[in-house]
Amino acid sequence: MSEFRPIGFAGVRLDGQFWRERLDTVLTRTIPSQHAKLGEHGILESLELPDPPPPLRNPPNDHGFTVQVFWDSDVGKWIEAASYALSHRRNADIEAKIEAIIDDLEKAQAPDGYLNCWYLDREPQNRWTNLRDNHELYNLGHMLEGAIAYFLATGRRRYLDILERYVALVRETFGPGPNQKHGYCGHQEIELALIRLYHLTGDRRHLDLAAYFIDQRGAQPHYFDAEAIARGENPRDYWAKTYEYSQSHKPVREQDKVVGHAVRAMYMYSAMADLAAELNDSGLKRACETLWKDVIATKIYITSGLGPAAANEGFTEDFDLPNETAYAETCASVALIFWAQRMLHLDLDGKYADVLEQALFNGALTGLSRDGEHYFYSNPLESNGQHTRWAWHNCPCCTMNASRLVASVGGYFLSASANAVAFHLYGGISTAVTLETGVVQFTETSSYPWSGSVKIAVDPERPARFAVKLRVPGWCRDASAAVNGTAVPMTLEHGYLTIDRTWQAGDAVTLELEMPAERIYAHPAVRADSGRVALKRGPLVYCLEHPDHAGHRVQDYRLPRRADLKTATRADLFDGIVTLEAEGIRLEEDDWLDHLYRASPPRTEPATLTAIPYYLWNNRGPGTMLVWVPEG
Ligand code: FUB
Ligand code: ZN
């Protein structure tokens, strides 16, 4: 296991324009507007528990399930995101809103500590009877993460106290004892929250409970069978048909294929990686590595979207990666970032940081609009104009996953051990890190991801020997580095360049990462991408979008194999971006008249293809978009 630990986002200041803009947007627009939406959609009201409860806002689907059962989680996630925002800037209005929510939760909590507003409001007698579907522990997980974040941001512990009472009840209820339930949640999440609570309190019982839930998953006799029978149902009538859906088809250590619901899978693998590190558990680590290989080799979109299918919000067969119908839920890419970061701390290997970065720039950021108030739930790689960013969703899970990620993004930039600091991402940050030799101020300056020129000022309080490790991304084929102007030999170990020397105030490292525009091809088994090419530069995946093509359908463009790819700095687009341009052709349809088929190919016209970063698509209205461009 590696000795590196992440440096918490609160200690990392974002100075670079790219992330500063996203963070400011989230602080000033996303967090307040999300609170307003929680109010408008009845989610805040659902904490008030009137008797009798009001009619459902979201009618049950055809297997009797309503998303209202996990509204508590949406509130918890908003508090978590808002608390991360408070760690950047205190805000009396947001704090008053959180306090009002805590008032409601305090009133709602049952005398024994139970706190689930769906069950308390509607069917208090049925608590813990449907862990498979009804998200009770998932809700607690998100609320608990919110309470921890709020405590860390403000020092106020009322919400945390409420939830610690609930956790104590859960610990009493679940476990190996003869009078305990041997169950676990159908939607993983509680495990991650318990591990966070363990980090906060040092109370080992929280870690043990997380480990219990993970190890119990998939044990026989199957818990979800037993509880279905107890509800008077036949387990074979399970609407999802298979426990692969919740990764409980077999014990987690035996799992070697990534299956089922994508967000559930990613949260579970994140918890497994956490437990592998905390418990030095090589079995769990091995399982994580096997699952990692499987997803990376056969199931991930180039954008790092995960889970092509809407039916199970998740995975299908290997290489099944359709573009226009891709589900690729924003939450799944956010959760992949959680998992990748944990893998990176099991082994400091750039292959994990590469995926983390890819998911951050392409999978997760896409979910949040430029204005900070519109979202994508699914992230297709092609559109015929049918996709549109929405201001809210009746299942708003992705909204707060986007905001909590951006509000805490500084936490993914670097890690430290006792005598080394590792930079994983670049983009303009400053932070003070305490090493065993003393405090060192690091100031990283760059306009990454637009440029690969990075400068890092290293200022120890007194001269000291330690290592600075710089990630050279897997996409970069030519890199150079220097300390105070003297070149450093580019010997990489697992994707990192190590500069181990005695540093003194005023030292500066420069890193040049060549960042040419590139064509990327898919494995031939990915039928959807056959004969097509994707464009990338640095960590960014690009796409063609309608406004840059005079309203023509972007699917009509062809990129000749030998066409040069040029980069252009476009101050006029999205406050300044780098676009990719190439000369190609466009198929014309004006001479087809009423023919649907004919013996001669379409007439073509020379045409310029302009590609923008994928994460920016659909900020200028719906229309055609294409990631995988036909070559020819
Ligand atoms: O079930 C809770 C959340 O809602 C899941 O993580 C998402 O996939 C959506 O179904
Ligand atoms: Zn989601």
For 436-453, write each residue's pLDDT tens digit: 999 999 999 999 999 999
Both 235 and 251 in one domain: the answer is: no
The Å distance, Cα 464 to ligand 2 centre, comes to 46
Both 620 and 543 in one domain: the answer is: yes
Q: Give yes or no for residue 328 CB within 6 A of ligand 1.
A: no
Q: Which atom of ligand 1 is nearest to the CA of 264?
A: 6
**Is residue 194 in a domain?**
yes
Q: What is the band of 581 on the pLDDT scale with cuts at 50, 70, 90? A: very high
Q: Which residue puts its alpha carbon closest to atom 6 of ligand 1?
A: 263
**Is residue 47 in a domain?**
yes
User: Is residue 585 scored above 90 in pLDDT?
Assistant: yes
Q: Give yes or no for residue 397 CB within 6 A of ligand 1.
A: yes
Domain count, the chain: 4
Query: Residue 82: how many CB atoms within 10 A of its CB?
Result: 29
Q: Which ligand is nearest to the CA of 314?
A: 1
**Is residue 372 in a domain?**
no
**Is residue 150 in a domain?**
yes
Q: Which atom of ligand 1 is nearest to the CA of 261?
A: 8
| Average pLDDT, integer, range 67-76 | 98
**Is residue 382 in a domain?**
no
Both 504 and 560 in one domain: the answer is: no
Q: Which ligand is nearest to the CA of 189?
A: 1
Instruction: Calculate the dihedral angle through the C-alpha atoms of 588, 590, 593, 599, rounding to the nearest 10 degrees.
Output: -30
User: Is residue 265 scored above 90 in pLDDT?
Assistant: yes
Q: Which residue puts its alpha carbon closest to atom 4 of ligand 1?
A: 397
Q: Which atom of ligand 1 is nearest to the CA of 263?
A: 6
Both 221 and 253 in one domain: the answer is: no
Looking at 371-463, which runs of residues are DSSP E strands? 382-384, 414-416, 420-423, 429-435, 438-446, 453-460
Q: Give yes or no for residue 263 CB within 6 A of ligand 1.
A: yes
Closest Cα to residue 140, out of 212, 206, 191?
191
Q: Is 313 a known active-site residue? A: yes
Both 59 and 182 in one domain: the answer is: yes
Q: Is 397 a known active-site residue? A: yes
CB 625 within 8 A of CB 389: no
Q: What is the band of 494 on the pLDDT scale with cuts at 50, 70, 90? A: very high
User: Is residue 1 scored above 90 in pLDDT?
Assistant: no
Report how many helices (DSSP H) and strands (DSSP E) the chain contains, helices first.
15, 23
pLDDT (tens digit per residue) in 192-239:
999 999 999 999 999 999 999 999 999 999 999 999 999 999 999 999
pTM of the model: 0.98
Both 472 and 613 in one domain: the answer is: no
Both 76 and 218 in one domain: the answer is: yes
Both 92 and 194 in one domain: the answer is: yes
pLDDT (tens digit per residue) in 299-358:
999 999 999 999 999 999 999 999 999 999 999 999 999 999 999 999 999 999 999 999
User: Is residue 551 scored above 90 in pLDDT?
Assistant: no
Give the pLDDT score at 168: 98
Both 162 and 258 in one domain: the answer is: no
The residue range of the domain holding 331 is 247-367
**Is residue 229 in a domain?**
yes
- C-alpha separations of 581 from 338, 587, 629 in Å: 34, 18, 13
**Is residue 424 in a domain?**
yes
Both 56 and 202 in one domain: the answer is: yes
Tell which of 449, 479, 513 closes a domain. 513
CB 581 within 8 A of CB 600: no
CB 333 within 8 A of CB 345: no
Both 86 and 156 in one domain: the answer is: yes
User: Is residue 62 scored above 90 in pLDDT?
Assistant: no
Give the pLDDT score at 2: 87
Tell which of 467, 498, 513 closes a domain. 513
Percentage of the chain exceeding pLDDT 70: 100
Give the C-alpha separation, 270 to 33, whole Å.
29
**Is residue 381 in a domain?**
no
Give the C-alpha separation, 457 to 465, whole Å.
15
Tell which of 513, 545, 573 closes a domain. 513
Both 231 and 276 in one domain: the answer is: no
Query: Residue 272: how many CB atoms within 10 A of its CB?
Result: 29
